[in-house]
Amino acid sequence: MKILSCNSNRPLAEAIAAYLDVPLTKADVRRFADMEVFVEIGENVRGEDVFVIQSTCFPANDNVMELLVALDALRRGSARRVTAVLPYYGYARQDRKSGPRTPISAKLLANLITSAGADRVLTIDLHAGQIQGFFDIPTDNLFAAPVFIEDIRSRYDNGQVMIVSPDVGGVVRARSMASRLDADLAIIDKRRPKAGVSEVMNIIGDVKDRHCIMVDDIVDSGGTLCNAAAALIESGALSVDAYVTHGVLSGGAVSRVAASPLNSLVTTDSIPATEAVRVARNVRHLSVAPLLGEAIRRINEERSVSTLF
């Protein structure tokens, strides 16, 4: 087995390599003067089972190109099998035609990854489960829920916890976590009048005197979470926390979260933390390195991955 890291999330790649006790493969991933991406593998990979770790987060297009060039380099280096490990799968929110003459970019990215030379894909909490079907190669979609559940159990009394879905689309995810925690479920009914803007219309469920924990896959601008937190507090919730797998946190999201009623926002290291995130008073990180490391070990050994779910 060989572990190759591109540049988007090297700390996570190093943590995965440490978990597996496998050194990162020597590779030179750099830019030419005109910002073209160049990748040179510094070790023999012929006949090897290679895992390329790259989150396609900001700057998304640069990181996508690094991944594609690395996959091509490994294919031309005669690697036996190449697995694209994407802790965060960018473009996932463009999973359908949202209007006339609009793209399905999540499918386009899947085609590019496959054509570049990936034999299988490993990722965490796809925005929509059906994106697995965009790939014509084996795709494992892990869930961060076990990592979150362990943290929730160590901090809260289950009797007072209520799991909250911040929108109707996340009900399946929230219901699964509520079932595993033996907790009640509430749902936020929101409207989105335009992209990046959300309004809370109703709260389905009695949240009075409960510790509410919102769960979601992506937090970008933070508007939805902050508006939902304010609505829950107004409805009598004792506290509101949020557990979100991918902390995109673009623009003024960190300051928006800091000024909100959220007691804490807990994200994973699928996307590297910016300096603003690291110093934020109410943002915490949990590592998914052991989860990804164990999945990589099982893929390499041809053992079941589904038991990690």
Which residue out of 97, 190, 194, 208 is catalytically annotated? 190
The answer to whether 2 is a known catalytic residue is no
HSE-up (13 A, CA, CB side) for residue 224: 29
Residue 189 near residue 170 (C-beta atoms within 8 A)? no
Collect all residues with Cβ–Cβ distance below 8 Å to 85 and sequence separation of at least 6.
51, 52, 53, 54, 121, 122, 123, 292, 296
- Could you give the angle at which helices 105-116 and 60-76 cross, rounded to 10 degrees? 30
What is the spatial distance between Cα 69 and Cα 63, in angstroms, rounded to a whole number? 10
What is the spatial distance between Cα 176 and Cα 110, in angstroms, rounded to a whole number? 27
**CA 35 to the chain's CA centroid:** 27
What is the spatial distance between Cα 115 and Cα 113, in angstroms, rounded to a whole number? 6
Catalytic residues: 190
